[in-house]
Amino acid sequence: MRRMTDAPRQPADRLSRMIRSGLRRYPAHLAGSVVTPAPRSAGAVSTQPSDRFSRPDPASAVWLGHATVLLRLGSRWVLTDPVFSDRVGPRIAGRTMGVSRREPPPIEPANLPPIDIVLLSHAHFDHLDLPSLRALASERTLVVTAAKTADLIPGGYRGVVELEPGEAHREHGIRITAFEPNHWGSRYALDRWRGCNAYLVESDDGRQFFAGDTALTRNFEKIGRVDLSIFGIGAYDPWEHAHATPEQAWRMAADLGSDRLLPMHHSTFELSDEPHGEPLARLLEAAGDDRATIVRLDPGQLWTPNGD
């Protein structure tokens, strides 16, 4: 992968742009939270076939929308930031108050293969979704999460492991190491002490890097080559201080020496002002002649290293 130069900085009026952005979007979403029928909860039965998960590929990935990626590592399954709900946000008077999903998830939790590890990057509502976590709870499954977030995890799991940046945990022959992204982990305004992680996932089937949410940072440069990097490319206008632009995501993947880049955190929820479809178009333009290294998946589509 070739490297990109820094994208232009945000203008000095960033704060006013953020306020205007929120006012254009959130009142309508909040009104919809109240006046529309209660959204479908995560865990509803789906007719989506699951035979794709019986393939013998030792390593594969399925993008399930937003930051939810299903990774197969040998006989084990790792799921990142699972969000299957139609709407994400705090629960008030029995309703979820927040942004709605553009399209239903391609697969429901009940139709996933048995999950061995759930990876949680941080506590924001669009990454740590309690209805989805309740639907996935199993005595088989271990949750690996950021520091000071274990209290948010519902019961029913085999265990919960918190990691600080620099710490690692080994499970089922899979080593998970936490790294510090350029983001923050609070769930509400006053709990900014909660952690926020990106993760390197290493096994006999390769090295995968899940960035979670991050703005441009050099914190990942020493990780070394990875087979697959998973970076967010959306929600940057006017939030570039919190979420990388497509060009910045490409640069960070290039700094890793990533063989492949799977873009996420776009097209699922309306969190920002960039036009729908722009993040992927800008990423492809940034990649230029190397665009074949970008793993372009529709939600629910299976990717394997050999391209089948």
Residues 82-103 have pLDDT tens digits of 999 999 998 887 888 888 999 9
Residue type, 56: P
pLDDT value of residue 47:
40
- d(Cα 22, Cα 171) in Å, to the nearest integer? 41
Find all residues with CB under 8 Å of 243, minimum gap 6, and list them: 213, 214, 215, 232, 234, 235, 236, 265, 272
Q: What is the mean pLDDT of residues 23-27?
A: 52
Tokens linked to 50: 């699951």
- d(Cα 129, Cα 296) in Å, to the nearest integer? 25
The model carries a pTM of 0.87
pLDDT value of residue 306:
79
Q: Report DSSP state, residue 286.
A: H
Residues 161-187 have pLDDT tens digits of 999 999 999 999 999 999 999 999 999
In the chain the domains, ranked by start, together with CATH numbers, are: 49-303 (3.60.15.10)
**What are the backbone dihedrals phi and psi of residue 175, each rounded to the nearest 5 degrees, phi first?**
-100, 125
**What are the backbone dihedrals phi and psi of residue 80, each rounded to the nearest 5 degrees, phi first?**
-100, 140
Instruction: Give the full edge-to-edge strand order of the sheet including 69-73.
Output: 159-163, 142-146, 117-119, 76-80, 69-73, 59-63, 302-303
pLDDT value of residue 170:
98
Do the beta carbons of residue 281 and residue 266 sit within 8 Å? no
Residue carrying the six token digits 């036009």: 275
